[in-house]
A = this chain, B = another copy of it.
């Protein structure tokens, strides 16, 4: 092909593509998250990346949001999924008769948002979701199970996080009790912004909604309550006689009982009435995980309770609770802050270097080693020196030199690349030495 016809190789912007050494770490994080989800008896689900637009856009009445990847194929309006919750709703609505409830499923997969690419935002990202869906009813212990499991995930990932927990019924009910039932959703949107816009601006915005100053201040004071469960519950539980508010208090108390039973410590979680979460579908417990040493990361995991998962598709009433970890964004933050666990250029434990015409013997050795350690043969055309240099650059801990003498004697030169020591060993001794690292 003529060089003039070459197409410059490039990928779409806003799409993460890792070098293999980092992909190993990314995959390892997925395995750890999956491992925790499995321990709690969640089952895997893998829904298609593409869904009928009518299904995916049920919530918006079929309007295609600018941020979605939507297109038409033949006569079919198709959309790439933008989360894993709507496909779950579609799945449980379709398969309701055959599922066992509570239905506990995890799904780890890519989702798509074609929004303008900006720092730290991705158009394709891996979400790690776990949800529990009940048939008609779902007790508060399910919420505790999700929160505890999320805490377990971050321990498995060796990341220090605190789970900030609230219950939307607290602010809902409190606003209701102040006679503000009609404005509740708008009030919550403002209260959700306090950290961004400040108390005074929040107060002004509430007043614009028609909330009097006294009530606005009460709402803000309540929103800012944060600390350990017993203390905060003690401070707020008698603030309102509203039934929704009291339901929130009672659910938080029950949640606290279960979280304590799971053995979570006070460092693991905190009651934070300011956790609201934008989604209107949350109806009870809500939570977000933060990294105390890195508040600038924002929330690294979120979730909560929703009253009716699949209401657009079925008249079956299915409450649920779930957690979601945006792994692509988290990984990117860790990477940019040098917080990934050690990035090694390769996971090869042994590089076999042939000298002369010994490839068949090298193959036999690789076949012997490969069930115990990852090993590779240098079969490219580099010089011996070049191959040694390459192994060194890739930080491969051991190199096995296989010349014709070695083949005849059955004793191979094993070189420890860290110490420079070199020994003549049988293959069994080589394996022992390497595995003793």
A38 to chain B, nearest CB (A): 6
Can you name the residue of chain B whose Cβ is closest to the Cβ of A142?
A: B379
In the bound complex, how far is the Cα of B346 from the Cα of A359, in angstroms? 46
A21 is contacted by which of B43, B145, B363 (Cβ under 8 Å)?
B43
Given contacts A46-B18, A258-B359, A379-B142, contact A7 B54 (CB under 8 A): yes
Contact check, B58 vs A43: say whether CB atoms are below 8 A apart: no
Can you name the residue of chain B whose Cβ is closest to the Cβ of A102?
A: B380
Can you name the residue of chain B whose Cβ is closest to the Cβ of A375?
A: B41
How many residues of A sit at the interface, in one of the four size bands?
A: 35 or more
In the bound complex, how far is the Cα of B184 from the Cα of A41, in angstroms? 58
Answer yes or no: A17 CB below 8 A from chain B CBs. yes
Answer yes or no: A337 CB below 8 A from chain B CBs. no
Interface residues of A in 8-46 (CB under 8 A from B): 8-12, 15-21, 23-24, 26-27, 38-41, 43-46
In the bound complex, how far is the Cα of B8 from the Cα of A190, in angstroms? 36
A139 is contacted by which of B54, B371, B375, B380 (Cβ under 8 Å)?
B380
Given contacts A139-B379, A141-B359, A261-B363, contact A390 B311 (CB under 8 A): no
| Number of identical monomers bound together in the oligomeric complex | 2
Q: Which residues of B contact A23 (CB under 8 A)?
A: 43-46
Contact check, B49 vs A124: say whether CB atoms are below 8 A apart: yes
Contact check, B312 vs A50: say whether CB atoms are below 8 A apart: no
In the bound complex, how far is the Cα of B102 from the Cα of A346, in angstroms? 13
Contact check, A137 vs B367: say whether CB atoms are below 8 A apart: no
Contact check, A313 vs B363: say whether CB atoms are below 8 A apart: no
Answer yes or no: A219 CB below 8 A from chain B CBs. no
Q: Which residues of B contact A359 (CB under 8 A)?
A: 141, 258, 261
Contact check, A371 vs B39: say whether CB atoms are below 8 A apart: yes
Name A residues whose Cβ lies closer than 8 Å to a Cβ of B. 1, 3, 5-12, 15-21, 23-24, 26-27, 38-41, 43-52, 54-55, 58, 69-71, 73, 76, 78, 89-91, 93-95, 98, 100-102, 104-105, 110, 112, 114, 123-124, 134-135, 137-139, 141-142, 144-145, 257-258, 260-263, 310-315, 345-348, 359-361, 363-364, 367, 370-371, 374-377, 379-381, 390, 393-394
Please name 25 pairs of A and B residues whose Cβ atoms are closer than 8 Å in the assembled complex, sorted by A: A6-B312, A7-B312, A7-B313, A9-B89, A9-B310, A10-B90, A11-B48, A20-B43, A24-B43, A24-B44, A40-B370, A40-B374, A41-B348, A49-B124, A69-B78, A101-B380, A104-B376, A137-B380, A139-B379, A141-B359, A141-B363, A144-B363, A258-B360, A261-B359, A261-B367
Task: Please give me the 5 A-B residue pairs with the lowest Cβ-Cβ distance, nearest first.
Answer: A71-B71, A20-B43, A41-B376, A261-B360, A9-B313
